[in-house]
Amino acid sequence: MALTLMSPAFTQDKPIPQKYARSGENLFPPLKWSGAPEGTRSFVLVVEDPDAPRGTFRHCGIANIPSDWDALAESADTAPENTARFYKNDFGNARYDGPQPPRGDRPHHYIFRLAALNVPSLSIPGDAGIASMWNEARKHVLAEATITGTYQA
């Protein structure tokens, strides 16, 4: 069984509801996954907009998601008992910041990328940013799954 990622909030290539956008409630959308490969010791998640005017824009990066988890709840970035580590996004915040494409732009694509890793944690400092975390995580990937939503202002 392959690693799969889905969201109860939106489906593949369909619009992300406004409550998950920065202009809405800016809530982290709920995610669920299954099919983690044998040897998975943790997960990482990256949310990126490859359609941003200045190149790929990173909205969220989470590492050290425990291997026994199979979901992230709505607003997971504000949960008090969160053991996962959030990395500084391109807005400068160590949390989720939802879609915010320029008004009038064509719909942007927001790729939620989950990776199963063969290590229990990454030791990259949170202020290093998502790109640094993802570069380190890529060395340990066992499997990846994505779901892509769209958003237009």
Which residues partner with 78 through β-bridges?
none
User: 67: which 2 tokens?
Assistant: 């291997």
The whole-number pLDDT of residue 82 equals 67
Name the maximum alpha-carbon separation found in the chain.
Answer: 45
Q: What domains are defined for the chain?
A: 4-151 (3.90.280.10)
Opening angle at CA 30, ends 6 and 121, nearest 5: 85
Q: pLDDT band at residue 81, thresholds of 50, 70 and 90?
A: low
Q: Please name the residue that has the structure tokens 């400092």.
A: 125
Q: Which amino acid, 61?
A: G
For 10-61, the pLDDT digits (tens) are 999 999 999 999 999 999 999 999 999 999 999 999 999 999 999 999 999 9
For 84-138, the pLDDT digits (tens) are 899 999 999 999 999 999 999 999 999 999 999 999 999 888 678 999 999 999 9
For 5-19, the pLDDT digits (tens) are 999 999 999 999 999
Sheet holding 4-6, edge to edge: 4-6, 31-34, 71-72
